[in-house]
Structure 1
Amino acid sequence: MSGQVSSTAGTTAPNPNTSSPTATAVLPSSSGSIRIPPLRGSENWRIWRVRMEDLLGELELIEYVDGMKIKPSADPDDWLKSDCKARGIIRRCVDDNVMTNILACETSAEVWTQLKQLYEVADIVAIVELRRNFFSHRMLDETRIDDHVRTMRSWYDQLRAIDSNLANDFDWAIALIASLPLLWDVFIQTLRPLLNFQDKTKWPDMAKQVTSSVMAEGQRKEQRTVDAGLLAKKNTAAAATFGSGGSNGKNTSGGQGKRKGECNYCHKKGHWERECRKKKADQEKKKETAHIASTGEQGNQDQSDQGGAVAFVAKAPTSFSSHEWIADSGAGSHIVGNRTYFSTYEPVSEVVKGIGGDVPIIGRGTVCAMIRNGNKSNELLLRNVAHVPSFSSNLLLCKVIDLAGGACLFKGGRCTVYAPDGRTLGVGPKIGDSAKGSLYLMNIWLLLPQPK
């Protein structure tokens, strides 16, 4: 194998009084020439080391560098030739400042050991800082998931480069999950079946599954944000076109001040009824009326009232996941799509109106769930829940929350659920409207029933 090494020439002559830059080395390999940027110091040591180890391994010289192949006492010529080749390759891949530290090294192993001592981060302060970053980092809501995973992976790889015992596959899975924002708590509950800390042989697969699940969920959330943004722009454009003007629907303002006319609601001049601030304020007060939860069975309620919620979920541009909960301010009953979570169950034959016709309700029963507000969680006991297998999400009906004396307040585009003692149990943003009320995305997850 040829040991020729060349380098790209610089266009500027170096100043003899300063350290001259070292060009990228062009080195031969079995797959052709490769370029390796020079080692500058600790800032690029980790990546440079991996590239050099790959190259030296491909050239069958790595055993000379790591000291595994010791110089024989008899007939050392072949060993010296190979070791000299390895030392030369390393020297051609460092800049002048680094070169001054390895000039006196006689073997490739001495060169490699010297570089590791100089630039490999192994002091306790650096390790503490890396572990602190890795295990305590928190992703911001606006951060893209691929950027976040890349940041976490960088710290993980640096710890592994120092010592493989400083971070393992289980650490990666747990740290990645723990770094997700609070808004991801419902999704995190779905990862529980993947976490198996007892069987170490399954840790690599567990880490891969957790990573792929987190990436998929993040991309889905990002797509939903894009879809919501497009929808908001479309609504804004429609409002600008049809939301102002006279009775003929045309915009007659033309930048000429208030339109003349009398409001049919407050009877003041200068605006129309649909623009009346007093009317909007009065309507808002009505919306703030709390819906007190019922403790009795609600089996006789008209399920057709909540068909709008089913239709909204079915027509959503981005599908909802089976672990997500939508709160509906309209009438009807709670809906769960997965039979597994019912602690009591009774088959029924009912329907709820949806897309393209009636959607069957095949059973009713009791489920337990957890609702989160910030870092606090409380249990919900939901009775007379409708089992609708075709429903892709879960529906929480605010009027029939099984919290004796509890309440829901709708204000400012949010739904706030209160306990009987006035504590806030959860808050969810408004995501749309159904035929009979508004819809809100809540931080709730189902609990599997306890074995009897």
Structure 2
Amino acid sequence: MTNTKLKVAVFDGSGDFCFWKTRMLAHLRILGLKGVLKEQESIAPPTEAEEADPENMKKRIEDEKSRRELCEKALDIIFLNIGDKVLRKIDQCTTGAEAWSMLERLYLVNSLPIRVYLQLKVYNYRMRDSNSLDDNIDEFLKMISDLNNLQIQVPDEVQAILILSSLPEKYDMLKETLKYG
């Protein structure tokens, strides 16, 4: 494990959960804690043969203690990187996996209406003249990222067609050239 100090922005419930989640996963991966975000089955009781071997029992106890410590560290890191409003919603969680699962349930909405809404938003997207091209592309990529987080893939070719068709009128010549040139 490394002692690298990393800073992840605090998630207060109003920002982009998907970006925060990506940064937190990277942070937890660096610290070697990503694996504890999955609910683990409790360790099966030792068999008689295992109980008879004191060395095996000692190793088993140390492994369980180590696993618990990692779970507590992951939970602490999650708690330290969320705002008060979000913490109140998950402060009863006792493991990192439980807290992570609760955050995903609360902030990674995956209902059918949301899925339909996001897809329609992407397929009906039109760039605004008032925004720079970079700002418009960033807005489009955020929508694509939201769909990816819901396991809805938009192929690169389709993305290119959608961006091309969403360009403002001042790019009509460019659109025609790219379509037919």
Task: Tell me the TM-score normalised to structure 2 length.
Answer: 0.77
Note the C-alpha offset of 1:190.
Answer: 4.3
- 2:90 is paired with a residue of what secondary structure? coil
Report which of the two has the higher share of strand: 1
- 2:100 is paired with a residue of what secondary structure? helix
* Residue in structure 2 matched with residue 179 of structure 1 by the alignment: 166
What is the aligned counterpart of 1:109 among 94, 97, 102?
Answer: 97
Q: Contact conserved, 1:42 with 1:119, CA < 8 A, in 2?
A: no
* Residue in structure 2 matched with residue 80 of structure 1 by the alignment: 68
Note the C-alpha offset of 1:71.
Answer: 4.7
Tell me the distance in 2 between the aligned counterparts of 1:37 and 1:142.
29
Q: What number of residue pairs does the alignment pair up?
A: 164
Task: Name the CA shift for 1:103/1:127 in 2 (closer, same or farther; >3 Å).
Answer: same
What is the aligned counterpart of 2:107 among 80, 94, 119?
Answer: 119
Note the C-alpha offset of 1:40.
Answer: 1.0
* Residue in structure 1 matched with residue 19 of structure 2 by the alignment: 47
Task: Name the CA shift for 1:42/1:71 in 2 (closer, same or farther; >3 Å).
Answer: farther
Tell me the distance in 1 between the aligned counterparts of 2:67 and 2:104.
23
Tell me the distance in 1 between the aligned counterparts of 2:17 and 2:23.
10
**1:57 pairs with 2:45:** no
**1:167 pairs with 2:154:** yes
Query: Where does the alignment leave 5 or more consecutive residues of structure 2 unmatched?
Result: 45-59
Task: Name the CA shift for 1:119/1:141 in 2 (closer, same or farther; >3 Å).
Answer: closer
- 1:38 is paired with a residue of what secondary structure? coil
What is the aligned counterpart of 1:37 among 9, 15, 21?
Answer: 9
Note the C-alpha offset of 1:156.
Answer: 1.0
Task: Name the CA shift for 1:151/1:79 in 2 (closer, same or farther; >3 Å).
Answer: same
Note the C-alpha offset of 1:97.
Answer: 1.8
**1:135 pairs with 2:123:** yes
Kindly provide the CA deviation profile for residues 11-55 of structure 1, in whole angstroms up to 9, marking residues without a partner as x: xxxxxxxxxxxxxxxxx53xxx22222221153322211110000
Letter in 1 for 2:158: D
- 2:89 is paired with a residue of what secondary structure? coil
Letter in 1 for 2:155: N
Note the C-alpha offset of 1:140.
Answer: 3.6
Structure 1 residue runs of 4 or more that deviate by more than 6 Å after TM superposition: none
* Residue in structure 1 matched with residue 53 of structure 2 by the alignment: none
Task: Name the CA shift for 1:140/1:103 in 2 (closer, same or farther; >3 Å).
Answer: closer
Note the C-alpha offset of 1:70.
Answer: 4.9
Letter in 2 for 1:54: A
What is the aligned counterpart of 2:38 among 66, 70, 85?
Answer: 66
- 1:34 is paired with a residue of what secondary structure? coil
Tell me the distance in 2 between the aligned counterparts of 1:54 and 1:190.
42
Kindly provide the CA deviation profile for residues 401-446 of structure 1, in whole angstroms up to 9, marking residues without a partner as x: xxxxxxxxxxxxxxxxxxxxxxxxxxxxxxxxxxxxxxxxxxxx67
Tell me the distance in 1 between the aligned counterparts of 2:14 and 2:101.
14
Letter in 2 for 1:123: S
Q: Which has the higher contact order (CA 8 A, sep 6+)?
A: 2
**1:151 pairs with 2:143:** no
Tell me the distance in 2 between the aligned counterparts of 1:49 and 1:167.
21
Q: Contact conserved, 1:139 with 1:181, CA < 8 A, in 2?
A: yes
* CA-based RMSD: 2.4
Query: Matched residues, percent identical?
Result: 26
- 1:104 is paired with a residue of what secondary structure? coil
Task: Name the CA shift for 1:37/1:142 in 2 (closer, same or farther; >3 Å).
Answer: closer
Kindly provide the CA deviation profile for residues 229-250 of structure 1, in whole angstroms up to 9, marking residues without a partner as x: xxxxxxxxxxxxxxxxxxxxxx
Note the C-alpha offset of 1:117.
Answer: 0.4
Q: Contact conserved, 1:64 with 1:109, CA < 8 A, in 2?
A: yes
Report which of the two has the higher share of helix: 2
Tell me the distance in 1 between the aligned counterparts of 2:122 and 2:114.
12
- 1:43 is paired with a residue of what secondary structure? coil
* Residue in structure 2 matched with residue 92 of structure 1 by the alignment: 80
Query: Where does the alignment leave 5 or more consecutive residues of structure 1 unmatched?
Result: 3-27, 193-444, 447-452
Letter in 1 for 2:164: I
Kindly provide the CA deviation profile for residues 116-141 of structure 1, in whole angstroms up to 9, marking residues without a partner as x: 00111322232222222211122244
Q: Contact conserved, 1:84 with 1:108, CA < 8 A, in 2?
A: yes
Question: Which structure has the larger Rg?
Answer: 1
Task: Tell me the TM-score normalised to structure 1 length.
Answer: 0.33
- 1:173 is paired with a residue of what secondary structure? helix
Kindly provide the CA deviation profile for residues 255-289 of structure 1, in whole angstroms up to 9, marking residues without a partner as x: xxxxxxxxxxxxxxxxxxxxxxxxxxxxxxxxxxx
Tell me the distance in 1 between the aligned counterparts of 2:128 and 2:70.
51
